[in-house]
Structure 1
Amino acid sequence: MVADCYLAGVSTRRMDKLVKTLGIDSLSKSQVSRMAADLDQIVAEFRHRPLGEAGPFTFVAADALTMKVREGGRVVSAVVLVATGVNADGRREVLGLQVATSETGPAWNTFLADLVARGLTGVRLVTSDAHPGLKDAIAANLPGAAWQRCRTHYAANLMSVTPKNMWPAVKAMLHSVYDQPDAPAVAAQFDRLIDYVDDRLPDVAEHLGAAREDILAFTGFPEGLWQQIWSNNPNERLNREIRRRTDSVGIFPTRDAITRLVGAVLAEQTDEWAEGRRYLGLDILAKSRLTIVTNDDTLEKEELPALTA
């Protein structure tokens, strides 16, 4: 019962009141943690499960959350690296998680290498924000996969270099890029955005030009997929659920405790996705060829593996 309450995000104070009705005088945080250790085997099996049978995972999203943990007598920050993917059945899965000291290139490289070792294959696109080192880790571990810079995070980055009085106009034009019906129209509207800011806001124009390939990577895939792959918003909803469960803990006693609770939440979420409706339709995933549209050329990708219902 205590383990279930712990997973549900019930605070120690509320749990203490609950167990008093069962004749237990008090319940400390350390006692709760020891009782919740029953989750460790479930989480370990989930984290280390083979990924090969469920693949290929054509689309992957990666994100990180910061947690507080007590180490060496001090409260320090740690990050939880999380990756989700869309499997061969069109359903989402949490592929893995890893607790690291900070979000760095080596940390992402170790995390992605573990996913590949467990059977992650067939990745065509990884969506994430632009943390340093992540793009290099993707290139090193997932050769051939494109990188989509999350449109939501990019908008925040662009806002930081845009004068406040000009941001509403720039934001509206940026959003209009994503409203276009096909890849050529997206490219043309992006050109119009560049033309609009070129003379007025040269720093903004430079920022947009440098990010063009990364924020428009989604146009290399069928239009029916765009809303699912051009941002990390679906993972943000997952992050909010993790926060809801972990806020009652506040400061974790160890990194293992972070892995235990977050891992159990993610395992539970993966089970719910498996029972729910498909994230992507098989008819879209099963298109025999993908094209990548660049400024000057259209390059055909090799055929995707056939998918069946």
Structure 2
Amino acid sequence: MTQFNFNLDMDQLTEEILGSDLNSVTKGLAVAVFNAYMEAERDAYVQAKNRERSEDRQDMRNGYYQRDYKLPVGRITLKVPRTRSGEFSTELFERYQRMDQSLVLTLMESVISGVSTRKVTKIVETLCGESVSKSFVSSVMDRLDPEIEAFQNRALHAQDYEFLYVDAMYIKVRENHRIVSKAVYIAQAVTTEHYREIVGFMISGEESFESWQTFFQDLRYRGMNDPKIVISDAHEGLKKAVKFEFKDASWQRCTFHFLQNIVKTLPKKGSEEARRLLKRIFRAESMMMAEQYRDEFFEYVDGDPKYEDAVKKLDAGFHDATQFLTEAKKYHVSLSTSNSLERVNKEVRRREKVINIFPNLASAVRLIGSVLIDIDEEFQSPRRKLFQAND
């Protein structure tokens, strides 16, 4: 397997992994790693691939039995391989008890973080003197990738989605011997019952209309309906793609970022009252009140050239930033900004910092997909509604 040299502090990585909150590690990924380990053990014992005719074959596969196993992340159910003779026995459980429990979880974290097999082996040997073959690590990666792909490509037609939050963040990836910037597109939707889901993610080049359109087309291809409102920042390519792909949806500009853009144009001194009047607009309980507060702001700064840019920005973006007021009051806080998706991005960024520069695009998809699966599972169990007010 090709090895990559990239910016990774081994001591820092080990410290980050061993000091991480193990409850945040996806149980499904732990199951995949353990099952992959036992499958590799059986392959070695049988000495033949599945359905392969070989003179070296020692036994025949005979399905699996289930076994519950308790980890720091909780109880998991494993598929333990069997052979027809019944003589095969996995060493996983004995090995797991013999090693420090963090070993296998460290291996898993390293694999999904895109660390090269050479560095995975080095981490394991450094921690407890045990070694893991490069072929095994590659096998685990091959088994994890389909889970990420299934998550990315799953059908969305079983739910009706009312609101859609979208955003992009940037990561660094090594590509063709250069370090390039890639945009990570993430979509969080809210069902008509007000439950959240991570409905899609994509890693591509810099933000553009074409990239956003491709991302939205994928959501639609997988069965997503037109939401009532799409909430995002004001990237021009994103806005245009929303109009093209979600023709029946309104676009809500994130008021947090909109206010920041306007406030930057205000005088640093003597603008306290203007700032108060400006913020009051987006705390209004109805469109009528917001329009009244906007007009009062215009009247207060009228004729002062120091506020011309603020007036222009507010006037141009007012209606896009107040679409949330068309919904019930109990939804206003959640719909007025993209903060709920920003929290998702923050968790992705926290895990991404361990790597800093991804060795390739596949490793970035693996880590970010794993984090998003974990977050989506947290949304589902126990199911928590985005809007906390009584329906």
Give me the TM-score of the superposition, normalised by structure 1: 0.82
Where does 1:104-183 land on structure 2 (aligned, <5 Å)?
104-166=208-270, 168-183=272-287
Which 4+ stretches in 1 moved above 4 angstroms? Answer: 7-19, 25-28, 30-37, 281-284
List runs of 5+ in structure 2 lacking aligned partners.
1-103
Pairing 1:43–2:164 present: no
Give the distance between the partners of 1:34 and 1:246, measured in 2 at CA: 23
* Residue aligning to 1:80: 184
Q: Indicate the residue corresponding to 1:303 in structure 2.
A: none
1:226 matches 2:332: yes
CA distance in 1, matches of 2:170, 2:138: 20
* Equivalent in 337, 341, 357 of residue 251 of structure 1: 357
Q: Report if the CA contact (8 A) 2:185-2:202 is conserved.
A: yes
Corresponding residue of 2:386:
279
Q: Determine the C-alpha separation between the residues in 1 that align with 2:140 and 2:268.
A: 52
| SS of equivalent residue, structure 2 residue 158 | helix
**Distance change (3 Å), C-alpha of 1:135 and 1:22:** same
Q: Single out whichever of 137-146 and 187-196 deviates more from structure 2.
A: 187-196
Q: Partners of 1:261 and 1:93 in 2: how far apart?
A: 18
In structure 1, what is the equivalent of residue 40 of structure 2? Answer: none
Distance across 2 between alignment mates of 1:281 and 1:15: 47
Displacement of 1:198: 3.0
Give me the whole-angstrom Cα distance separating, in 2, the residues matched to 1:14 and 1:177.
54
Match of 1:91 among 184, 192, 195: 195
Larger radius of gyration: 2
- Evaluate the alpha carbon distance shift between residue 7 and residue 145 of structure 1 in structure 2; reply closer, same or farther with a 3 A threshold: farther
Any idea what SS the aligned residue of 1:53 has?
Answer: coil
2:253 counterpart letter in structure 1: R
Report the Cα offset of residue 122 of structure 1: 3.9
User: What one-letter code is carried by the residue in structure 1 that aligns with 2:234?
Assistant: A
Distance 2:185 2:271 in 1: 32
Cα distance between partner residues in 2 of 1:226 and 1:7:
41
Q: Distance in 1 between matches of 2:204 and 2:152?
A: 15
Deviation at 1:16, TM superposition (A): 4.9
Task: Note the C-alpha offset of 1:236.
Answer: 1.1
Distance 1:143 1:19, change over 3 A: farther
Moved more, 174-183 or 136-145: 174-183
The Cα shift of 1:15 comes to 8.9
CA contact (8 A) 2:232 2:337 kept: yes
Flag the 1:268–1:3 CA change in 2: closer, same or farther, 3 A.
Answer: farther
| Equivalent-residue separation in structure 1 for 2:124 and 2:214 (angstroms) | 41
In 1, are the aligned partners of 2:281 and 2:290 still within 8 Å (CA)? Answer: yes
Contact 1:7 1:264 in 2 (8 A): no
Shift of 1:155: 1.7
Shift of 1:263: 1.0
Aligned pair partner of 1:267 in 360, 373, 381: 373
The C-alpha deviation readout for 1:223-259, integer Å capped at 9, x for no partner, is: 1101111001111111110011110011011112111
Structure 1 SS opposite 2:319: helix
Shift of 1:162: 2.3
User: 5+ unaligned residues in a row in structure 1: which ranges?
Assistant: 285-309
Code of the residue aligned with 1:78 in structure 2: it is K
Q: 1:52 aligns with which of 149, 153, 157?
A: 157
Q: Is the 8 A contact 1:6 1:36 kept in 2?
A: no
Secondary structure of 1:208's counterpart equals helix
> How does the TM-score come out when normalised to structure 2?
0.66
Percent identity over paired residues: 28
Match of 1:64 in 2: 168
- Alpha carbon RMSD of aligned pairs, Å? 2.8
TM-superposed deviation, 1:282: 9.5
